[in-house]
Structure 1
Amino acid sequence: MSLFSLIAVFLIEQFKPLDYRRIVAEPLGLWAGFVESKFNAGSRHHGVAAWLIAVLLPVVLVGLLYVLLYSLNPLLGWLLNVGVLYLTMGFRQFSHHYTEIQLALRLGDLERARQLLADWQGIATQGLSARDVSRLSIEGALGASHRHVFAVLLWFILLPGPCGALLYRLALIVRDRWTADAPTAHNEFPIFSRQAFGIIDWLPLRTTAAAFAVVGDFEDAVHCWRTQPALWPDRDLGIVLASGAGALGVQLGGSVIEEGEVSDRAELGIGDPADVDFMQSAVGLVWRATVLWMLLLFLLGLASLAG
């Protein structure tokens, strides 16, 4: 059922791309903000209670709904799987931005590529070179493929029905919303949301990095994975970026010029500087990793049938 659900979501997404920000991110962000407004007293134990209501309660309710629908008709349970997966994962959340940036760079329209990157990632892009835009786009695509595809897919497999997919998406949105809303260092409310998401994302980060290594340059990917993530600001996401950069044989990270100022960042990867050709290579890496996942799901399904 997992494989058929995944195939169905990919097909639906091609014909009806989802406006993720408007339909998913904003409503769930409002839900996270509502729960925060009722519980945030600045203490950690309030954050624990709020997280249980904001994240765990919806997951349990959806799980109960899945059990009910499946008991009535397995097809109804499958439809719920497809619906939740469609809302919580997908390539189109980032692929159209990436494709348009790649096209603009190939046409030599650097200004448009900068603007598209700014619209996608919400960063200042004035003064970025074509290599900088390529580098930041590849980083964004590798990170987004983990957040929107591979991590959601793993949790979808680990938990029954659509519970895992919803758990990952809600935990990420709640963490980001509560962390952004906690400007003071003494506010302990968002601590548990960060810790909980760190636990939830621990295994997906490493399976995504492993998938990139398997379908790319394995030795360089493993070397970069072992030696470079600790230097990245977000060490966890640095695991995925370092492995992806090593698998591609490209240099990511490093300094970029933003609005006339140099932004120093750790270097990731081994090989040549990023350019528009490496952007296409990154697309191939993500798709090969996706095929690897689908093959594993197929083999698991065969093993289940044989058992």
Structure 2
Amino acid sequence: MVRTGTTARAAGLLLGAGLDALLGDPRRGHPVAGFGRAAAALEKAIYRDDRARGALFTGICAGTVLGAAVLAERAGRDRPVLRCLTTAAATWAVLGGTSLAREGEIMARHLEGGHLGAARLRLSHLCARDPSGLDGPALARATVESLAENTGDAVVSPLFWGAVAGVPGLAAYRALNTLDAMVGYRSARYANFGWASARLDDAANWLPARLTGALTVLAAPAVTPVSGGRLRASAEAWRVLRRDGARHPSPNAGRCEAAAAGALGVRLGGANTYAGEVETRPALGDGRDPDVPDIRRAVRLTRAVSAAAVAASAGLAFALGRARHGRAR
């Protein structure tokens, strides 16, 4: 039962994660989608190809969300039940773990049935790479890589910031991550305008990405047969994470993907096409190339890491709440 502010945030994170597990993302009226539409309208109104204008855009969008979230947090300062419920609502709104796993399962079904066209169309729900020339194994690699990276972005990072900063942490993180997805690409249009959004998203994900890597190491036995040696699975994930985590062009995605490559016993990386431009990424891991059956293993890994992240975030929130309560006495 939520009786004090010490437990309210932790309880809210658990309740919100439970709602995400049961319901997934809201089908209509999703607040993140509404934020994206508002940000797109603002971009259209103030866009100019320079960093200052992009920083203004990021500040307005993220600052507005943060201000509203701070007011919501303050409203529950002395009302633990309200604080729990607002934290739960915000957690449900920003978490994407259940929907992420479902997208992985949909990709697996399409590819298992030989429906390459449907799989290519569906890949846009997971990443922005051009799927038009991808065969089954290439689509499997894209799916596995996206599941690994987005487990950090859509699950571990928001839970971490929710534990540390409550509703403001949840809302501000999701705002920055959404802005990065919208304008953070290194394209001709966004190289300058999206610079602030991309850099702030990198900063917000720096510690959670490394936490995602560590949780993936711990969760590796969930996708390894007993005969394969479960302890060896964690050891291999740790080895690949340490060796390959910094090879990725992103300062954060490589940690998530390298740990997943080690846990699954596959090799990730290679040539990807984004908006007509080919980007070749270094190999992560020493195993074989991923194939269609590895998608379902990657989904299991995502779910195991997500469950561990929920427990860890609730524990962190409770510990921080106890510490704040102790200082206030």
| TM-score bucket (shorter structure) | 0.7 to 0.9
Counterpart residue number, 1:167: 172
Counterpart residue number, 1:138: 144
Counterpart residue number, 2:207: 203
Q: Does 1:29 align with 2:29?
A: no
C-alpha deviations, 1:80-112, integer Å up to 9, x for none? 111111111132332222112212333444444
State the alpha-carbon separation in 1 of the partners of residues 163 and 66 from structure 2: 15
Residues 15 and 191 of structure 1: CA distance in aligned 2, closer, same or farther (over 3 Å) = closer
Residues 253 and 221 of structure 1: CA distance in aligned 2, closer, same or farther (over 3 Å) = same
What is the aligned-residue identity percentage?
Answer: 23
State the alpha-carbon separation in 2 of the partners of residues 60 and 40 from structure 1: 23
Q: Map 1:1-307 to 2 at 5 A.
A: 1-19=8-26, 23-37=30-44, 39-71=46-78, 73-118=79-124, 120-159=126-165, 161-179=166-184, 183-184=188-189, 188-216=192-220, 217-255=233-271, 264-297=280-313, 299-300=315-316
State the alpha-carbon separation in 1 of the partners of residues 161 and 144 from structure 2: 24
Which amino acid is 2:199 matched to? Q
Structure 2 residue ranges without an equivalent (≥5) = 1-7, 221-232
TM-score by length of 1: 0.82
Higher mean alpha-carbon deviation, 244-253 vs 147-156, is at 244-253
SS for the counterpart of 1:244 is helix
Structure 1 residue ranges without an equivalent (≥5) = none
CA contact 2:10–2:163 (8 Å) conserved in 1 = no
SS for the counterpart of 1:60 is helix
Higher mean alpha-carbon deviation, 52-61 vs 227-236, is at 227-236
CA apart distance, 1:137:
1.0
TM-score by length of 2: 0.77
Residues 300 and 18 of structure 1: CA distance in aligned 2, closer, same or farther (over 3 Å) = closer
C-alpha deviations, 1:185-227, integer Å up to 9, x for none? 8x74433222222211111111111111222233333333333
CA contact 2:13–2:313 (8 Å) conserved in 1 = no
CA apart distance, 1:47:
3.7
> Does 1 or 2 have the higher relative contact order (CA < 8 Å, sep 6+)?
2
State the alpha-carbon separation in 2 of the partners of residues 48 and 127 from structure 1: 36
